Structure 1
Amino acid sequence: MMLCGAVLSVAMSVLPAVAQEAAKKEAPKPAASPSQAVLDQWNDIGRKLIAMAEDFPEDKYEYKPKPEQRSFREQLLHASDSNYFFTNPATGQKMPTEEDPSKNKLKSKSEVVAFVKKSFADGAAAIKAKGDSGMSETIVDPYGNRQVRLGDLAYELIEHSGEHYGQLVVYYRVNGLVPPESRPKK
């Protein structure tokens, strides 16, 4: 019995080294191109917010943790409206002139879901159209009165969406729900 334990112990200590040697023989995967890296992050946060928009019960879409805060619906619309602060300049359009133009227009869950999907699809299309060289183009950010690279602006909006994703996780939890991303994977 002790011999079996000793053999098993030696095997367990050797296996990681063998796996590391095998991994060293394979060439590492190349880094994503600059535009592909932006696109991957853009699509990832978009996927998470779309899943929430589709999943959250419609009868709770107007839920607010406190009266002065945005509702679940307004949070989604704010994040989606904000995407156009990247998409518009990336596609040669003017920056949006108001913060949340859709919040008084889109009321039903189906309208909100469609808009969240559209805002992320529009941004993804702009990133693809710009490509690597386009992500290095600079624009003047009228709100910060500074020059900014389009890729950096995209990352700012990705971060912004991530912040709202975190807030929406709280909306789920205080309603006794589990966000889609936190559920066990099948």
Structure 2
Amino acid sequence: MKKIKFLLTLAVALMALPNMNAQNPTDLIADWERAKAYTMEYMEAMPADKFDFKATPEVRSFAEQMLHITDANYGFTAAIAGIQSPVGFGESEKTEDTSKANVIKLVNAGYDFVIAGLQQISAEELSDPITLFGQFEMTKAKALDKMFEHQTHHRGQATIYLRLAGVKPPNEKLF
């Protein structure tokens, strides 16, 4: 009897393994709303005349960093949610209008697309497999982790841009 109980417990635990990384979509939406607000703080902190600032000639400008986040957010979300992106691949970063007002508008629209896409995904779907960008096999939950990591990475790079522009970056926003 103990053996059967043990085997049943083990079977249930093993079936749960693929879902251990999956989060509740409500929590994911809250995280992305926080990320949007945090990114907005970065954009608001940067003076309008510094949006085209580059730390060195070889790197993206501050505006391009923000728009790169946006392009990735559209691409990841379209793949994860199985919906059409309203923005072509790399289109945001190629915009000629890198004014503070336009960049804020485009970046916020990208975050809104992420949040709307997450509202279409159920908790069960987070464990569904997808192929990301035609080459990376993972679950939707793992792809969401990668997307969040990507935007965090590039927003973190923007900290240096703010410092070099003489601006104190926003405080950490974990919660």
TM-score range, shorter-chain basis? 0.7 to 0.9
1:136 maps to which residue?
127
- Look up the match of 1:113: 104
Instruction: Give 1:77's aligned amino acid.
Output: L
Q: 1:123 aligns with which of 114, 118, 123?
A: 114
Contact 1:90 1:150 in 2 (8 A): yes
Gaps of 5+ in 2: 1-21
Q: CA deviation at 1:72?
A: 0.3
Moved more, 167-176 or 43-52: 43-52
Q: Secondary structure at the match of 1:129?
A: coil
Q: Secondary structure, in 3 states, of the residue corresponding to 1:74?
A: helix
Of structures 1 and 2, the larger Rg is shown by: 1
- Aligned pairs for 1:33-72 (under 5 A) are 34-72=24-62
Tell me the number of residue pairs that the alignment of Structure 1 and Structure 2 aligns: 151
For structure 1, which runs of at least 5 residues remain unmatched after alignment? 1-31
Gap change, CA 1:59 and 1:146, over 3 Å in 2 = closer
| 1:74 partnered with 2:64 | yes
- Identical aligned residues as a percent: 27
**1:33 CA drift (Å):** 5.0
Could you tell me how far 1:58 is from its partner in structure 2?
0.9
Instruction: Give the match's secondary structure for 1:73.
Output: helix
Amino acid at match of 1:53: M
TM-score, structure 1 length as denominator?
A: 0.71
Residue 99 of structure 1 deviates from its aligned partner by 5.3
CA distance in 2, matches of 1:142, 1:180: 32
